[in-house]
A and B are shown apart, each in its own frame.
Chain A
């Protein structure tokens, strides 16, 4: 496999993990958190709720996968491309929480998809070319 193709494939696989872990992590956090948190002890106690724990585990996976992606891809590439998560959040709200998606929301979703596609079509790496992998 050629180097640009290898990098692109790796970027899409890792990017998918970044997006899904973030969207699902936020979703479970929201479902598991109580209506109000008034003291630091309540913050800590909330972490032991099953849905919040699952949310935290997914957000740790998100953090590690994002760091992995940043080991070869530019920040100015990773940030817009992983923003497709906003679209998934809106769609999950529609499917699982019965939230309404208005015409204005659909326009927003179309713009995000266009922006992600535009950045995603380019190369993920401009400033990393000469990095020396510590574990190569």
Chain B
């Protein structure tokens, strides 16, 4: 059952974060952190379909994560879902057209390898 929850979490998180990155890029850099400006930004983001998709995907991921945490240790649950790191880097390169240089590839690979070793 753990692996079912992990598959749901990885799929939902990866899709969600890609949508968040696309939606926030479309919105533009947030520079003003005064309460009024933050409120206006949230109102704009609430109408951004990528952000709506992100929130929906993360809600699925959240409930799946709650299910996973109920049957697994935190030290297993968190690292096991770290495969999203690789998937998101690859998809950021090919879908979001980010310029992923050698340092980012090596860095992301070291992180995934490290997470595999930290996992019990």
Contacts and interface: CB of A to CB of B under 8 A. Distances in A.
Interface in B90-117: 92-93, 96-101, 103-104, 106-111, 113-117
Nearest to B33: A68
Interface string A16-28: 0000000000110
Contact of A77 (B20, B65, B74, B104): B104
A110 B15 CA distance: 29
A37 B75 contact: no
A107 B108 CA distance: 16
Interface string B47-88: 000010011001000110111011100110011001011001
A109 B110 contact: no
B27 A122 contact: no
**Most central of A68, A79, A121, A132 by chain B CB within 10 Å:** A79
Interface string A66-87: 1110111011111110010111
B89 A127 contact: no
Nearest to B79: A86
B107 A86 contact: no
B7 interface: no
B117 A121 contact: no
A36 interface: yes
Q: Which 7 A-B pairs have the closest CB atoms?
A: A108-B117, A115-B110, A111-B114, A133-B28, A112-B114, A119-B107, A108-B118
11 contacts: A30-B74, A66-B20, A76-B108, A83-B115, A104-B117, A115-B107, A118-B107, A127-B97, A127-B98, A133-B31, A136-B29
Interface of A: 26-27, 29-30, 33-37, 43, 46, 59, 63, 66-68, 70-72, 74-80, 83, 85-87, 89-90, 93, 99, 104-105, 107-122, 126-128, 131-136
